[in-house]
Amino acid sequence: MTQRTLAIIKPDAVAKGVAGQILGRIEQGGFTILAAKLIHMSREQAAGFYIVHKARPFYASLCAFMTEGPCLPLVLEGDEAIQRWRDLMGATDPAKAAPGTIRRDFAASIEANAVHGSDSPESAAFEIPYFFAALEICPR
Ligand code: GDP
């Protein structure tokens, strides 16, 4: 089934200059990029995006990390895109991520872990319009 998912190349990966390599893996992975923009989130914008993690002990730290510099949100489309993008990202903790995954190759820590991906169709339905208006998404 064709799905859309929200991906983010996080501030650590943008700062390291590996956004282009990650975009290459996205294209090689058979995803179509429908939308992209470089943004520097405010603390309020990051807190709203990660509101589901409000009760987690790392919430404040995660929100601070996501505002350290610009990040690159993307809308990806493809067959089973939500799970396939999470497979390509790898486990949250790069030390546990499989060889060949983006987090294994580019992430520094469980927090500064290079990329984000929606974890369900419900999450994607919240996350895509959080960053992109309908006119900013280019259907193919
Ligand atoms: P994901 O779906 O693999 O991104 O993982 P989660 O939804 O569980 O967590 C969201 C984000 O919070 C992760 O991508 C990390 O950036 C961060 N995070 C997750 N677990 C931890 C943790 O134990 N400590 C810290 N500092 N950050 C974490």
Out of 62, 85, 93, give the residue to mutate to test ligand 1, the one with the largest number of ligand atoms within 8 Å of its CB.
62
Counting Cβ atoms within 10 Å, is residue 105 exposed (0-12), middle (13-18) or buried (19+)? middle
In a domain, 20, yes or no: yes
Domain that holds residue 12: 2-41+70-136
Ligand 1 centroid to residue 103 C-alpha, Å: 12
Out of 6, 51, 58, 127, give the residue to mutate to test ligand 1, the one with the largest number of ligand atoms within 8 Å of its CB.
58
In a domain, 56, yes or no: no
16/63 Cα distance (integer angstroms): 19
In a domain, 112, yes or no: yes
108-131: average pLDDT? 98
In a domain, 61, yes or no: no
pLDDT in tens, 44-69: 999 999 999 999 999 999 999 999 99
CATH number, domain containing residue 89: 3.30.70.141
pLDDT in tens, 82-102: 999 999 999 999 999 999 999
pLDDT in tens, 28-37: 999 999 999 9
Identify the active-site residue in 62, 86, 116, 124. Answer: 116
In a domain, 23, yes or no: yes
76 token code pair: 């990806």
> What's the domain count of the chain?
1
In a domain, 82, yes or no: yes
Taking all residues of the chain, what is their mean pLDDT, rounded to a whole number? 98
In a domain, 64, yes or no: no
